[in-house]
Every structure is written in C-alpha cells, then in structure tokens.
Homo-oligomer: A and B are copies of this chain.
Amino acid sequence: MRRFNDLADLSIEELDSLLELAGRLDRKPEPRALEGKVLSLLFLSPSLRTLASFQAAMVRLGGGSFVISPEMSIHGLESRDGIVMDGPAAEHIREAVPVIASYGDALGIRAFAERSNLADDLADKRFKELAALSDAPLINMESAINHPCQSLADYKTMDDLAIPKQGGRFVLSWAYHPRPLPLAVPAATVHMAALRGMDVVVLRPPGFELPAATMHKARKAAELSGGSVTETADRRAAMESAHVIYAKSWSSTRHYGDQPGDQALREELIDWCVDEPWFENAEPNCRFMHCLPVRRGVVVADRILDGPRSVVIEEARNRMVAQMAVLYRMLKG
C-alpha cells in the first residue's frame, strides 16, 4: 500500500484483509516487524489521539516516529504559493514537506479544512497540494473531507461489538457545538457505514445537510454493499430500531465559510445534545459512538458517555490497532 487516503480506494477484499491484520497484530504482537523503520508525522493542526496512537503503533511494531508541527520551524510554515517571504515565516511548506518525508519510510499528514470554500474542501484541495509535494508512502491523518484512520477504527469497533452489517441501522447525527467544525468525520463516517452494508440515516437540522457529493459517494458504496443511505431532520423516525448513533457536529453547509450565518442557525439548536430520551425507540442496546474530543453536556449528556451505550474509548483504542495494520501493510518488507 502506497497511500492510505480514503477507504473508497480499497476493494472489499483489501479492507477485510486489513481489518483481519489489525485484529491479528493486536492479539499477537510483532514487536520487530518494523525495526529501523521511521514514520514522519506532520501535524498542521492539533491532535491528541492521532498524535499518541501513531507513535504508540510504531513502537509496538518495533519502529519509531518523529513529530513536526509548524511552531517547530522559525515563526511557522508558509503555505501560500509564489509569495515573497519577507514576513515572519522562515520556511515554506514546499521545502518542509519533502524534507520531513525524506527522513521517514512513510509520511502522515494532518491538514484540517480551510472552511472558506466548500468546493475546495470537497475536492480536498489543501491535502492534495501537500500530498503532491512528496512521493513517499502517505497516510491521511485527517484532511478537509476525509479521515480514513478514524473510519477504519470505527468499522473495526462495530465488528468487535458484532453490530450487524446487513440490516444494521446506523444513525449519523448532527449535534450542537459552539463553533462550526469540519466535514471530515461526518463525510468519512457516512461512507464507512454505507460501505459496511448498513442502513444509514443522516439526522440533521435544516441547513446542515451533508453535501450532495458526499451523499452520492455514500450511496454508491451502499449500492455495492447492499446498504442504504437516507437523510432526515426527524429524530424519532431516524432513531427507530437504531443499532448505533454516531454523533458529530459540523458546519452548516448552507452557510459554509459564513460564520455569522452558521452561528444564527446553530444557536437555535442547543437541544441537539444526545441524551437517553433519544434512544426510546432504538434497539435496546443501541450504542453511542463519537470520534472524540467530545464536549460533555453540549454534544452528549454525561450519563450517555459514562454509561453502557458509549463505546468511544473502544473507538479511540482501535485507532492504534487499525493504524498498526496500515503501517504494517505500508512498511513491512
């Protein structure tokens, strides 16, 4: 594997094999598999799980990693093209990316969304520009519109819990958050659940519809897997017999890049905080999923997060396990 950028790039067989490998490496460690191998980690936005889980994954396989973020260079990294660099930044991303890549056997890049132009973010313009600066094996550690490591971990988490593929009902629900957040996780998640053959419902208030291209991609995956993808603003209808509710906040797509417009819509929606009453017509052991970090009492009530429905810690741990498989495939002999 040369690039791990999108679950959609994998065949079903490749995905199954990757998940099988992840489970095997978790049960039967191979602490010398990647000895002497180096993973370069470039974080253009902050991180906790991604930072920790990739470092841990490399150690478990006998290799190592190093971490670079813009503040490690002198006054940050410039990213604009054709600019005369007479301001504070002393280094351009056009040098930084290939240099960092040259020290590793693979390169992980985290590059959040600009959130000013929806078409650019849907095309993952920024991440593709960064990726084009190096031909090293590359891992998308979250871009404007994708988060394949999270999706692989979430897929495995549902497998571990024996949540049904065919006939499993997966609700991806928008949730309140004081600020507009990127589309990466919801876009990756709706596709992942569709790919898994589940009946996916996107539950979101008006103005927070997922982009047409995102829904189209998920529906294409559902066609092949035997799943389905629908959307609604009706919470009760969405939650009917649900096996999973995956909560996440995201920007208004109607007001993308328009902060006041988004805010006006958003501030009416503080009741979009997942709590026990949401589950009344769901499957009895309906699970609560979230990629973390999560704002308690805002996105979800404490009693849900601290109760038996929540599998957020399992999802987070599976980040490491899933990434071990990706790294093994990419770097092993």
Chain A residues near B (Cβ < 8 Å): 29-32, 35-38, 40, 46-49, 51-53, 55-56, 58-66, 68, 72-74, 78, 82-86, 90-92, 94-96, 98-100, 102-104, 178, 292-298, 302, 305-306, 312-313, 316-317, 320
Contact = CB atoms under 8 A, between A and B. Distances in A.
B52 A100 contact: yes
A52 B74 contact: no
Interface centre among A58, A85, A94 (most CB of B within 10 A): A85
A94 B59 contact: no
Nearest to A293: B91
13 contacts: A29-B36, A30-B36, A31-B35, A31-B37, A38-B60, A48-B99, A51-B68, A53-B103, A91-B294, A95-B312, A96-B293, A99-B317, A103-B320
Given A31-B35, A313-B95, A59 B68 contact: no
Contacts of A40: 52, 56
Interface centre among A35, A40, A46, A103 (most CB of B within 10 A): A103
A66 B91 contact: no
Contacts of A91: 48, 292-294
Contact of A56 (B38, B47, B83, B298): B38
B52 A68 contact: yes
Given A55-B66, A68-B48, A95-B294, A320 B36 contact: no
B62 A316 contact: no
Contacts of A82: 297, 302
A239 to B, nearest CB: 23
B61 A73 contact: no
A24 B53 CA distance: 32
A98 B48 contact: no
A61 to B, nearest CB: 7
Contacts of A295: 85-86, 90
Contacts of A64: 55-56, 58-59, 64
A103 B293 contact: no
A84 B85 CA distance: 42
A65 B313 CA distance: 20
Contacts of A74: 46, 293
